[in-house]
Structure 1
Amino acid sequence: MNELKVRTRDGKDVGIKIGADTKIASVMLTDLSAIKPDSYIGTAAAPQADGTLKALEVHIFPPSMRGVGEGSGPWDMQPNSTMTNGSVGSILGADGRTLTVKYESGEKKVFIPADVPIVSIEPADRSVLKIGAKVLLLAAKAGDESLSAFAVNVGANGIAPPM
């Protein structure tokens, strides 16, 4: 298999090239207890008036993916949302739902509401690429307008990767 056929959020069918170097990962539901100090996480989040972030989703990377996408910047999950990837510095509050996420150029305080999906990401092989699987692709566009994936996150057990 050298190409995936995917349906985009807006309903278009698109072919995406995948190569031998495309990173493939499985995304599985987990819970807040899986987040520990120094866990490497990512969170799509919405800015709050006080400068903190409210998580829209949280994903926990395996140790082998520490450093992937480190930092904080715009994300397309909803208007004004961001993606912040970094190490959990501290877990605050009696309920453990507020974290500091540290990255090379700074840190963010993130609140995780109880209804926000928390997932773990694990390296996988092409066997997880099945018809009907929900995916999140990170791809680059070539000069000929074709798309090549450098990463494919595949939802396990029918889940959609929440990022």
Structure 2
Amino acid sequence: MRKALAFVIAGALALASVAAAAQAPTRIRGTVTGLDGNVLSLKSRDGKDLKVKLADNVTVSAAKSVALADIKPGDFVGPASRPGPDGKLVAISLQVFPAALRGVVPEGHTPWDLEPGSMMTNAIVATVAQAPNGRELKLEYKGGTQTVVVPAGVPVFTTVPGDRSLLVPGATIFTIARPGPDGALSSARISVSKDGVRPAN
């Protein structure tokens, strides 16, 4: 009886694990092809046609360019990076989070999917130093530190409040969508390009 019960429990846990994986949020980057009510149509960066149902009260954020020279100690940032030849990380893009998101956006150093082998480091800028072709940032987060070189020309951006009027064909977006039981994607937050500045992460 105990063996049978253990088998049932193990099976239930396995199914729950599969279901949880199926419902895991997915990062979506792409180009808007249309908006019909709350349904956003887009072409993902890997060429797939997708539809994402937006929440009635969806939060739309617009990307805004930031000068690399304006990055200073105390800023809360999120560079996507790749390993450099000298062991330091080299930024592919750099997001400067609004101060209000400190304590809301989790800090840390984790794998990212912008490109193979890339990492995301959400952290506080401790120091800023000149680099041969850009800036070198020492970043601190709970449990660790990282040094990231940000070359000149790398996209540096923040987000400001936007609205649905920005979700026009041709606009680029970034969102974290959650699949429903039927596989349909939905999202309550989305970042969108504005004035040629794209949400690069």
TM-score (norm 2): 0.74
Matched, 1:41 2:73: no
Moved more, 12-21 or 45-54: 45-54
Stretches (4+) displaced over 4 A: none
User: Quick one: percent identity of the two aligned structures?
Assistant: 37
Q: Counterparts of 1:25-36 in structure 2 under 5 Å?
A: 25-36=61-72
Matched, 1:151 2:189: yes
Identify the match of residue 175 of structure 2 among 132, 137, 140.
137
Moved more, 19-28 or 72-81: 19-28
RMSD of aligned residue pairs (Cα, Å): 1.9
Partner of 2:43: 7
Q: Counterparts of 1:42-57 in structure 2 under 5 Å?
A: 42-57=78-93
- Cα displacement string for residues 47-104 of structure 1 (whole angstroms, at most 9, x for unaligned residues): 2354421000111111122231421111111110011111111112367600112112
Report the structure, 1 or 2, having the larger helix content: 2
Q: Which has the larger radius of gyration?
A: 2
Identify the match of residue 89 of structure 1 among 123, 126, 129.
126
State whether residues 111 and 120 of structure 2, in contact with CA within 8 Å, keep that contact through their aligned partners in structure 1: yes
Q: How many correspondences in the alignment?
A: 163
Identify the match of residue 106 of structure 1 among 144, 158, 169.
144
In structure 2, relative to structure 1, the CA distance for the partners of 1:72 and 1:150 (3 Å cut) is farther
CA drift of 1:15 comes to: 0.6
5+ unaligned residues in a row in structure 2: which ranges? 1-36
d(CA) in 2 for partners of 1:151, 1:52: 32
Moved more, 86-95 or 136-145: 86-95
In structure 2, relative to structure 1, the CA distance for the partners of 1:109 and 1:144 (3 Å cut) is same
Matched, 1:160 2:198: yes
CA drift of 1:124 comes to: 2.3
In structure 2, relative to structure 1, the CA distance for the partners of 1:49 and 1:104 (3 Å cut) is same
Moved more, 85-94 or 56-65: 85-94
5+ unaligned residues in a row in structure 1: which ranges? none
State whether residues 134 and 159 of structure 1, in contact with CA within 8 Å, keep that contact through their aligned partners in structure 2: no
